[in-house]
Chain A
């Protein structure tokens, strides 16, 4: 599973959104389901899935799917698995 597939999996599971709404450009606040409350749910799910931890300053920077992907790669997460 590629990294973006895994991120998609987290978004579809945690937000309950249909697949067509997911895209690298999807941004925090752009859909009702991704709000301040669910943001933390997504972050927690990503942290658990990849066995990593975001710094508090990083958490508010994770405002698009593309930025989440970048941040995960910066933490050494690669396609197919944990950091």
Chain B
């Protein structure tokens, strides 16, 4: 059964139950799906099967828009309204959308994208009346998610409908969600972990609680006010709550599941969460967008002694494989480390219009002992620990995580180059937390002096806020390592770690 058919079956089975709560308003399954079907009917103005850019954020329109596109068989392309116009336009150019769905606040952006890239702009208009007859089509892709790219422009990952249903089915074997559950929706729609929130929740007939932007300041308070039973966030969210002194023991008594994904989960933080939510199972999920949301899971044992600094990645989902391989593509022995390769029904179709990157990351090959013949190279350096299993050791390339967002330093450096008017620049993650994730970036420019404000302002026009360097420092020369590459570690030690 397709994702659309599965969601419609859940909607009829749970018609009178709450499906979505946002900004104090709660919609039943019947109401939510009626709104989505009316929007889908108006989408007949967009060619069947065409990708549709969705410019809506933390509004009822956003969720109705996603559902309308899934039901009508048009892959959705979430475009974060907070991203600067130039980045929205870069995503639009790469995505090739046939239409643009917007809410009340993003009409102008949608019109601008339609004018510049073709296609029609339509309002989601979740309260509009009208016919509910729409043409359902069997779509190959459910969504296209854009992540930071190494060449200075974001890259789009096309995720199939059957990748998503494989994910939902595999996750149900790890932790089944029931119709009594109340699930958080903290992730932006342009972050693929939001796909888990929506479809795992709605297939189960449970209710999704989406905080408004203002409510995000205090996720613990929001979860408690919502009576949430399932929490899903990046580790940065409880880390922030901890720094705000809002993650004390027992503060989240209503949770039965606390799920984390998107960046390494520090073991000390996971234990603090377990104490804050004494009735909850704490799970660390791992997986890149290219392998659909998450592909391995580890349940925390809060009593475990000697755990590594970050919670292990755990076992691959049913039907999937996660294998640490050496440079020859062969599994490393216990105790060895290497790149983590992933396979199974969640491996996506990969990048749109990017054959070089596709060829480098998606390999049609086999690994002895595994039945899979398509492997995705994650770029994650992982230890095959004899006791703890897969343990994250960092990255093999220049990708970093900032508050869970995936950031290619090369993309930031490209923006810095344009802003500073010199080729000699570097972006350095700083400060780092104990899990190895960064809270921000510092830009280095090879110059006698820099106008840091002007450079930051210029970067803001190209990059989403979390990618903009918080400081820009002028240096006489950029240190190089033995391979002749910019030595970011040396920059960090020389300029940032001084007392």
* Binary contact readout A1-22 vs B (1 if CB under 8 angstroms, 0 otherwise): 0000000000000111010000
Q: Across the two chains, which residue of chain A brings its CB closest to B221?
A: A60
Q: A16-B469, A16-B470, A56-B246 are in contact. Are A40 and B240 (CB under 8 A)?
A: yes
Contact A18 B457 (CB under 8 A): yes
Tell me, yes or no, whether B36 is within 8 Å of chain A by CB.
no
Tell me, yes or no, whether B236 is within 8 Å of chain A by CB.
yes
Interface of chain B residues 150 through 170 with chain A (CB within 8 A)? none
Give complex CA distance A24, B244 in Å: 23
Interface of chain A residues 28 through 56 with chain B (CB within 8 A)? 28-29, 32-33, 35-37, 39-41, 43-44, 55-56
* Binary contact readout B200-219 vs A (1 if CB under 8 angstroms, 0 otherwise): 00000000000001101111
Contact A40 B243 (CB under 8 A): yes
CB neighbours of B468 from chain A (8 A):
16, 33
Tell me, yes or no, whether B456 is within 8 Å of chain A by CB.
yes
Contact B240 A36 (CB under 8 A): yes
Interface of chain B residues 430 through 482 with chain A (CB within 8 A)? 439-440, 453, 456-457, 460, 464-466, 468-471
Q: Across the two chains, which residue of chain A brings its CB closest to B213?
A: A29
* Binary contact readout B213-236 vs A (1 if CB under 8 angstroms, 0 otherwise): 110111101000000000000001
Contact A59 B216 (CB under 8 A): no
Tell me, yes or no, whether B245 is within 8 Å of chain A by CB.
yes
A40 CB, nearest partner CB in chain B, Å: 5
Contact of A43 among B214, B244, B403, B460 (CB under 8 A): B244
Q: A18-B453, A18-B457 are in contact. Are A56 and B244 (CB under 8 A)?
A: yes
Interface size on B, residues (CB 8 A): 29
Q: A28-B217, A29-B216 are in contact. Are A40 and B244 (CB under 8 A)?
A: yes
Give complex CA distance A76, B431 in Å: 31
A-B contacts, CB under 8 A, total: 59
CB neighbours of B464 from chain A (8 A):
32
Q: Across the two chains, which residue of chain A brings its CB closest to B404?
A: A37
Q: Across the two chains, which residue of chain A brings its CB closest to B82?
A: A32
CB neighbours of A35 from chain B (8 A):
213, 216, 465
Contact B243 A36 (CB under 8 A): no
CB neighbours of B216 from chain A (8 A):
29, 35-36
CB neighbours of A14 from chain B (8 A):
470
Give complex CA distance A16, B237 in Å: 22
Q: A16-B469, A37-B403 are in contact. Are A63 and B217 (CB under 8 A)?
A: yes
A71 CB, nearest partner CB in chain B, Å: 14
B188 CB, nearest partner CB in chain A, Å: 10
CB neighbours of A36 from chain B (8 A):
216-217, 219, 237, 240
CB neighbours of A16 from chain B (8 A):
453, 456, 460, 468-471
Q: Across the two chains, which residue of chain A brings its CB closest to B83?
A: A32
CB neighbours of B243 from chain A (8 A):
40, 44
Give complex CA distance A29, B468 in Å: 17
Give complex CA distance A32, B465 in Å: 6
10 additional contacts, CB 8 Å, given A16-B456, A35-B216, A59-B244?
A16-B469, A29-B217, A32-B464, A33-B468, A35-B213, A36-B219, A36-B240, A37-B236, A39-B240, A56-B245
15 A-B contacts (beta carbon < 8 Å): A14-B470, A15-B470, A16-B456, A16-B471, A28-B214, A29-B213, A29-B216, A32-B82, A32-B465, A40-B243, A44-B243, A59-B218, A59-B246, A60-B218, A60-B244
Closest 6 CB pairs of A and B: A29-B213, A56-B245, A32-B465, A60-B218, A32-B82, A36-B216
